[in-house]
Structure 1
């Protein structure tokens, strides 16, 4: 079964990794992934108190372009409805203390009312305002959504509407396929001297005393080694090596891990490994309200990026936006 899985992985060419665009417009951020699914979300104001709700809007690419929205509560009060310019739109919706998920006709009604909105509020069941959602930058973010999804001038556009029919909207781009390979075998034990040699090779800080690396088996001859590199601060890093029959080779990743860019030996940040998956999470701030989160999967030849979420600005929103995803193929 393993041999068949390796052959399958080798038969699927690796698509170039090109995460979708990310941009900010005043109090809104927008990111789109490689299938043109776009997500908009609110940012805390540059000055003044943060609102008690985070408003996130997602639209799928293609036809018809399904809308989905989330209100993430920062208080114990349940959001009940959205009011736009004093009018309740599409509500009420079911809410929990954590917020609410808005789909279907309700989401479509809110989306239709967003362009040119001057005032957006979240209210409770008796109409009391729980949060005021900034409209600064919203129209520009919706315009960017229309541009990325090819909706400009069509009847499906969020803001740049026109007479072109829904059929003029481009189809959803095909996601890359990554084959899943189940790791087998048992990892070896590396001596402290060997680990220090790998640290020097990666130009990592080499300290005194015993140094341990984390080793995990990939198959009967290869193992991945995570060697401590930067060990202080919010973003400790690990150099990634592949031990092939005991010989240390550079880790193979198909995308740049972390925020530091390519180094001779790849480094992941706040890294971990589990059952073929390699995780990297680079914090942009101590509060965790910005940064880059990546999930790589071993496909039998290299670690492939299968998911990336990010928040490029540090303004109170911990809801990272997806900019890369794939489809998984299981043996």
Structure 2
């Protein structure tokens, strides 16, 4: 093997299992993401032309049969209660709002979802029927059709758009989620000297400034500790290089998925990174407003940091609702 091949091999992550977050796409004024268990979520986007709407409407459906629906409506209004009107008819409601909006489940969610295909006008109304906000239907039918396809519903009686005569039993079951063991951190982290921290910064090819260098040091177990050293400290996406101290020897942390928006580096870097109780977090913005980017949650499994949740918004169009594309099941050791 050549020296270059050896170098590239060393830079690759050590994986417990292939991590393949689900797809993310857009149709008109809607974004759609499906996770690795084919749970699909649709949410509204600000139109590319014209004023921004005064609401965020999110629709989620589980994979498999029968395919539970769950909806969220965040109306940017002080009106309470409010309801949804589709094609001139009120469907469900009125809904009591919380600071986060209204959550719609059960038979009401099914009724609203059944009324969405082909809708030309979707509005949020108050108790007197006065319109409070509009929800764009542009691209909604295509988004629902895409969800039917991902979940294998096309041609069955459970499809939202592509309905057919196939029975509910023809819908494939949801893929099985990966299982990640939960390891509770124990021990007490060491105190690193300034010289040690600066050596780690140089090793990660991060700028080394004059004066005191900072680092986050946390215990993983009685022999290992995780260290986050600040790498890029300016802008909206500061990064931290991640090491594991194994019996005092610093090694690049092992992650089973690419952190943040960048590619792999010899020492992995998380964005806006933090660590707590065995969990490593990364949150990378694509825009200053925070309406696009990727959020990741890694968990220490005793050997490496495993991606247990990823949510993203790939387009910067006014919606700060990140959609899940990866999740797992946790098992306590």
TM-score range, shorter chain: over 0.9
In the other structure, the counterpart of 1:202 is 204
Counterpart Cα distance in 1 of 2:161 and 2:205: 51
Within 5 A, what are the aligned runs for 1:204-243? 204-243=206-245
Deviation at 1:26, TM superposition (A): 1.3
Deviation at 1:79, TM superposition (A): 5.1
Counterpart Cα distance in 1 of 2:218 and 2:74: 37
Structure 2 CA distance for partners of 1:181 and 1:98, relative to 1, 3 Å = closer
Give structure 2 stretches of 5+ with no counterpart: 1-14
Which of the numbers 85, 88, 108 marks the counterpart of 2:87?
85
Residue 305 of structure 2 corresponds to residue 313 of structure 1: no
Residues 184-243 of structure 1 deviation map (CA, whole Å, 9 limit, x = unaligned): 111112222222221122111222222121111111111100011000001100000011
Structure 2 CA distance for partners of 1:98 and 1:226, relative to 1, 3 Å = closer
Structure 1 window deviating more from structure 2 (197-206 vs 114-123): it is 197-206
Within 5 A, what are the aligned runs for 1:30-41? 30-41=32-43
Deviation at 1:69, TM superposition (A): 0.4
Counterpart Cα distance in 2 of 1:26 and 1:73: 20
Counterpart Cα distance in 2 of 1:299 and 1:99: 36
Q: Is the 1:76–1:97 contact (alpha carbons within 8 Å) kept by the matching residues of 2?
A: no
Deviation at 1:95, TM superposition (A): 3.1
SS at 2:199 equivalent:
helix
In the other structure, the counterpart of 2:73 is 71
Q: Is the 1:186–1:220 contact (alpha carbons within 8 Å) kept by the matching residues of 2?
A: yes
In the other structure, the counterpart of 1:278 is 280
CA RMSD between the two structures: 1.3
Q: Is the 1:175–1:326 contact (alpha carbons within 8 Å) kept by the matching residues of 2?
A: yes
Counterpart Cα distance in 2 of 1:62 and 1:160: 16
| TM-score using structure 1 length | 0.94
Counterpart Cα distance in 1 of 2:274 and 2:93: 42
Deviation at 1:183, TM superposition (A): 0.7
Counterpart Cα distance in 1 of 2:203 and 2:67: 49
Counterpart Cα distance in 2 of 1:76 and 1:285: 28
Structure 1 window deviating more from structure 2 (222-231 vs 71-80): it is 71-80
Give structure 1 stretches of 5+ with no counterpart: 1-12
Query: How many residues are paired up?
Result: 319
Structure 1 window deviating more from structure 2 (77-86 vs 314-323): it is 77-86
In the other structure, the counterpart of 1:8 is none
